Amino acid sequence: MRAALRRPDFARLAASHGLATVAQLMVTLGLGVEVLHRTGSAAWVSVTVALGFAPYAALSGLAGVVADRFPRGRVLAVSAAARAVLVAGVAVGLVAGAPVWLLVAFSALVAVAATPAYPALAAATPQCVTDEELPAANALVTCVENVTWIAGPGVYGVLVLLGLDATTQTLVASALLASAAVVAAGARTPGPAVGAGRGWDEALLGVRLVARVPGVRRPMTLAVVDNLLYGYLVVAVVLLVQDAPDPARWLGRLNAALTLGAVAAMVVVGRLAGGDRVRRTLHVSLAGFAGCVLLVGAVGPGPVALVLLLACGATTLVAEVAAVTLLQRSVEDDVLARLFGVYDQLNVGAIAVGSAVAAPVAGLLGPGLAMGVLAVACVALQAVVAIGRGEPAVAVPGLRDVSGAVAPAR
């Protein structure tokens, strides 16, 4: 990880993405609170927050096209700068007493402007680090994603405790986004080659890669399984502790264990997912994650569950890093952002689906049994993917040397 961080372009892009994510979450949460104060309507709050996330699931595939047409560092800089301007517009709207619908619309536009950021960062990472450093760099990107999603509401809470009003909070977020733009602008990433495709052919290229290239489809499917199970687990833990003697305390302990496990795994993920072990690491870690989820459902809240949640956090992070590394090695540089636009869509959707089905399935089967059933289903799907490894690669028109094989080390 130290080696990856010594690459100045990678460090700049990761830091920029982290700053921008913190600022954006501050805006989403702050606007939700402001809308609640103005309307007293929980429905308006839900719409505000939902529109702050929906563009990721709806538009990331198209945003990947943008990130493949320009240098990825420039894409991150422009994305952050555009969000800084839009958030400053929100601050002006708050001062002017703009109607709620207009503030919500600005919040949605901020999210739209953010959609190219992750595909650009994922595609830029192999440009900035060596192949040997790639798993550790991916672990750092995953950590930045996870930590900033927690830190955004935390920074917002600090500003509230300091007594700053909604307008000042929004201006702070705009300043953070402007700083993120400056940081990303200092990175030097090469401009990807312009693909031969045009229009919908180019926009759908990421989808066709997933559909037609086995070496892309398999790790993408396993990443979706990993995120589906993770989304389910986050909600299932809440349901599992409901009948515990002290549910709030156990919920805090189990969630802390899940996070600590993921952080601890960062120390070893570079070795586990390095070299030619990536595919094996992906399968073993995902199977381990599902097995730990099954056992958590069987034992219920308690000391054993704490150990199992530590293992869940570690194995889900290793599986995600391994899947991302395989995807980066499976296709050419000039289509990577389009591929990771699809990745973002599918995996944000998988987390949402896993979270959404947790309560109905737990209500039908009981929290513990439901966790076991879903874990077994995920292992079964993983086995189907593994059995299909002999499937021949299918070339995608317009690409050079795209196959299911792992590319040579850079």
Q: What percent of the chain has pLDDT over 90?
A: 22
Claim to verify: residue 132 and residue 6 sit in the same structural domain: yes
Taking a C-beta distance cutoff of 8 angstroms, is the pair 260, 382 a contact? no
Q: Which tokens hold the place of 289? A: 């994650």
DSSP one-letter string for 171-201 = HHHHHHHHHHHHHHHT---PPPPPPS--HHH
Convert 232-298 into a string of H (helix), E (strand) and C (coil): HHHHHHHHHCCCCCCHHHHHHHHHHHHHHHHHHHCCCHHHHCCCCCHHHHHHHHHHHHHHHHHHHHH
CA angle 108, 114, 118 (to 5 degrees): 140
pLDDT value of residue 201: 62
Domain co-membership, 218 together with 365: yes
Residue 220 lies in a domain: yes
pLDDT band at 402 (very low <50, low <70, confident <90, very high): very low
- When pLDDT is averaged across residues 344-368 and rounded to a whole number, the result is 85
d(CA 309, CA 317): 12
Q: What distance in Å separates the CA atoms of residue 87 and residue 293, rounded to the nearest whole number?
A: 40
Domain count, the chain: 2
Cα(342)–Cα(365) distance, integer angstroms? 33
Residue 404 pLDDT: 39
pLDDT score, position 240: 84
Lowest mean pLDDT among 56-70, 130-144, 380-394: 380-394
Within a domain: 124: yes
Same domain for 260 and 383, yes or no, is: yes
Please indicate whether residue 305 or residue 397 has the higher confidence score (pLDDT).
305
User: Are 17 and 161 part of one and the same domain?
Assistant: yes
100-155 pLDDT, tens digit each: 888 888 888 998 999 898 888 988 888 888 888 888 888 788 777 777 766 676 78
Please tell me whether residues 106 and 236 are part of one structural domain: no
Looking at the structure, do residues 95 and 174 belong to the same domain, yes or no? yes
Give the closest residue to 123 by CA, choosing from 289, 354, 343: 343
Parent domain of 30: 2-187
From 189-203, 304-318, 377-391, the region with the lowest mean pLDDT: 189-203
Residue 93 lies in a domain: yes
End-to-end CA distance of the chain: 18
Residues 171 and 253 in one domain: no
CA dihedral (177, 181, 183, 189) in degrees, to 10, reads 140
Q: Count of residues for the chain?
A: 410
| Averaged pLDDT, 303-330 | 90
Of 32, 73, 25, nearest in space to 172 by CA: 25
pLDDT higher for 190 or 343? 343
- CB-based contact 128:10 (threshold 8 Å): yes
Q: Where are the beta strands (DSSP E) in 317-400?
A: none
Same domain, 342 and 226: yes
Max Cα separation, the chain? 62
- 309, 358: one domain: yes
pLDDT exceeds cutoff 70 at 39? yes
The verdict on residue 370 lying in a domain is yes
Question: 35 lies in a domain?
Answer: yes
103 and 173 fall within a common domain: yes
Tell me: do 173 and 235 sit in the same domain. Answer: no
Q: Is 406 domain-assigned? A: no
What's the chain's average pLDDT?
A: 82
**For 249-280, how does the pLDDT look when each residue is reduced to its tens digit (9 = 90+)?**
888 888 888 878 887 887 787 777 666 778 88
pLDDT at 397: 41
The residue from 154, 187, 220 where one domain ends is: 187
Q: Please check whether residue 195 lies inside any domain of the structure.
A: no
CA atoms of 335 and 337, how far apart (whole Å)? 6
